[in-house]
Amino acid sequence: MSPVKYCQQCGRVIAREASCDYFKYIRLKWCPACAEDVHRRQKAEYMRRLRAQRREAHRLTDEQNELLRRENELLRQAIRRLEQAAKL
């Protein structure tokens, strides 16, 4: 492992192995300024995926509701026919 760690975005030195905790050293990827941008982009991508999943779930629910509505209407029509046949 190199004794100096550089930001993956801008290339600035972000840590020296000798001057910080080992676990903090291996975890660092970006300088504080770049970390904000990276985290903002990651959060935006996460929210895009989440919204797409929710849209798909709502679409499926709407389809199921429409099928149930049609099925109920057909059942009502069948009941009316049976009631009319019973009256005759």
Give pLDDT tens digits for 44-68. Answer: 999 999 999 999 999 999 999 999 9
Same structural domain, 50 and 77: yes
Same structural domain, 48 and 88: yes
Same structural domain, 26 and 44: no
Same structural domain, 41 and 23: no
Number of structural domains in the chain: 2
8 Å CB contact between 53 and 44: no
8 Å CB contact between 25 and 15: yes
- Domain span holding position 24: 1-30
| Rounded-to-integer distance, Cα 70 and Cα 22, Å | 64
Same structural domain, 47 and 25: no
CA torsion angle 74 80 82 85 (round to 10): -140
| Rounded-to-integer distance, Cα 88 and Cα 86, Å | 6
Confidence of residue 1 (pLDDT cuts 50, 70, 90): low
43, two tokens: 């959060």
Threshold 0.85, pTM exceeds: no
DSSP H helices in the chain: 22-27, 32-87
**Is the pLDDT reported for residue 75 higher than 90?**
yes
Same structural domain, 41 and 80: yes
